[in-house]
Homo-oligomer: A and B are copies of this chain.
């Protein structure tokens, strides 16, 4: 299939649309971004690899990182991960404390903030130098040695992250955080501050599409494990809009409030989009549009 032509078609159509949505305002450092940026990169199992628009510009991947940290924790602990976090859609906003209270501190899934904090806690427990080892892991996934945290963004998140501090303390009160609250938050704010280009993100997601193996041939997870994380992204990757994304796009993926989305078609391709304007659920308006067009125009959907 000529993906390049399709991407160009989507790009042209997308740029012609009226601008909808607003840039995330909760984190001051992110609010500075140019809202009209738009990039897309696709990389296929059979070797096609190209981007369009602002696809080589760095952006803050934010919650897209949750897909990568859960993969890291899963590679270390296997199924034991699910003793401390569930695999069910939450049906609530990403930062809700309500469900957590009713369910005694076990987050519904690793893609809501509470779940990602538990995953961060797991990684801290099992890594000697957690932040550096996370960087190494992601550099291995992507093949890009220059991927790094943005310390200004991490600090900005810390200065305004009272809701996350509330979640982390709440989890700790249920015994589901084992390390120091401040250390867990520091790790979490750093993972969210990771910066990538669409190309780097698509390459990082490649192993999800390629039965667990990166573009450089590193086997990160088994075929069966990757299948399970893909399933999890399908049901839970887009906060309380996961159903809508599945309904419209039909691909496993993960979004972030920086405007990025990583998605994939198992055994076929990985794709990343970036457009900072968010809809009211906190997902990239143009990114969702572009991915919907991708599955519509190619007829490639898992359903």
Contacts and interface: CB of A to CB of B under 8 A. Distances in A.
A86 interface: yes
Given A97-B166, A231-B250, 7 more contacts: A90-B91, A97-B101, A162-B169, A165-B166, A228-B248, A235-B243, A266-B302
Question: What is the interface of chain A mostly: helix, strand, loop, or mixed?
Answer: helix
Interface string A85-113: 01111111000111101100000110000
Interface in A219-278: 224, 226-228, 230-232, 234-236, 240-244, 246-248, 250, 252, 266
A170 B91 contact: no
Contact of A246 (B91, B163, B234): B234
Interface of A: 86-92, 96-99, 101-102, 108-109, 162-163, 165-170, 172-173, 181, 224, 226-228, 230-232, 234-236, 240-244, 246-248, 250, 252, 266, 296, 301-303
A288 to B, nearest CB: 14
Given A241-B88, A303-B252, A97 B99 contact: no
Contacts of A227: 250, 301, 303
A296 B248 CA distance: 27
Contact of A166 (B169, B231, B240, B303): B169
B162 A166 contact: no
B243 A88 contact: yes
Question: For the complex formed by this chain, how many copies does it contain in all?
Answer: 4
Contacts of A181: 162, 165
Lowest 3 A-B CB distances belong to which pairs? A91-B91, A89-B89, A88-B243
Contacts of A247: 87, 228, 231-232, 235
A227 B88 CA distance: 22
A263 to B, nearest CB: 13
Contacts of A250: 227-228, 231
Contact of A243 (B109, B168, B248): B109
Contacts of A101: 96-98
Contact of A170 (B99, B109, B162, B302): B162
A13 B87 CA distance: 26
A231 B246 CA distance: 6
Most chain B CB within 10 A, of A162, A165, A166, A168, is at: A166
16 contacts: A87-B246, A87-B247, A88-B244, A90-B91, A91-B91, A91-B99, A97-B170, A162-B170, A162-B173, A169-B169, A230-B303, A231-B250, A232-B243, A234-B235, A234-B246, A266-B302
Nearest to A97: B97
Nearest to A163: B173
A181 B246 CA distance: 32
